[in-house]
Every structure is written in structure tokens, then in C-alpha cells.
């Protein structure tokens, strides 16, 4: 049985039910797959967040330049390594391990991104 797509209206209603409102500052850690099938994908989730907090609020997301997990070799395991990634170049548009919502957010023209390994990106009143 196919599940119905999650709509922007449902996400907006859910965010408000969680207590988000215009003018708040919110740090977002997300998983698109946790929503199920979202009509419009990551962009729909981002737009719903923006609609709820408004331009007088601020949305912040981590944007670490780290690749998704890489396969481990037998040698890696023998050395006790249990997770391996690549550090991506700062300007990379490659998918990261931060997830599709964060990757889509950081690539928007209206989002301000910091620099360095522990970079964050922000939109709204206090984005700078």
C-alpha cells in the first residue's frame, strides 16, 4: 500500500504544533526520510520552516563538509576504524552526510554560510 505524500500544509501545521512561530530562532537537524514521501522533497520542508518562522526569525542548520559514510575495508576494521568519511572542499556542491534538507538549504542563494569544518548556514533576520 502506498502512503499519501506529506504536504507543505501538514508540515507547517506540525511545526506550529511543536511551538514554532514567527520570529523564533530555530536550529534544525533533519531527516527527510523520517517524514515519509514529501510532496516537493527537501525544498518543501525548507519552505515550510521559512513560512512558519518568517523573515523576522532565523533558521540555522549545520553544514559540515563531510561526505556520506565510505565503505570500510578489512584493513580499516583491523585497525579499529568503524566509520570513514572524506572531508569535502569548502565550495563543493557534492552530497554530504548532513542530509538532503541541509544540503538543499546551504545551496540556496538567500542562505548565508559560514566557513571551516564546523560551518553552519542560516536564513532570516540574524543569518549574518
Determine which of 6-10, 25-29, 56-60, 91-95 has the lowest per-residue pLDDT on average: 91-95
Helix (H, G, I), strand (E, B) or coil at 118: coil
Query: Residue 1 pLDDT more than 80?
Result: no
Q: What is the pLDDT of residue 3?
A: 78
Q: Where are the domains of the chain?
A: 8-124
Query: Residue 5 pLDDT more than 90?
Result: yes
pTM: 0.89
Mean pLDDT across the stretch 45-64? 97
Amino acid at each position: 500500500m502506498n502512503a499519501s505524500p506529506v504536504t507543505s500544509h501538514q508540515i507547517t501545521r506540525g511545526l506550529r504544533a511543536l511551538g514554532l512561530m514567527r520570529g523564533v530562532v530555530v536550529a534544525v537537524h533533519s531527516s527527510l526520510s523520517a517524514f515519509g514521501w514529501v510532496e516537493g522533497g527537501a525544498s518543501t520542508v525548507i519552505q515550510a520552516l521559512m513560512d512558519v518562522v518568517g523573515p523576522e526569525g532565523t533558521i540555522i542548520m549545520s553544514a559540515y563538509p563531510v561526505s556520506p559514510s565510505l565503505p570500510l575495508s578489512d584493513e580499516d576494521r583491523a585497525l579499529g576504524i568503524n566509520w570513514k568519511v572524506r572531508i569535502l572542499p569548502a565550495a563543493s556542491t557534492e552530497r554530504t552526510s548532513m542530509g538532503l534538507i541541509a544540503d538543499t538549504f546551504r545551496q540556496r542563494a538567500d542562505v548565508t554560510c559560514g566557513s571551516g569544518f564546523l560551518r553552519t548556514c542560516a536564513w532570516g533576520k540574524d543569518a549574518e
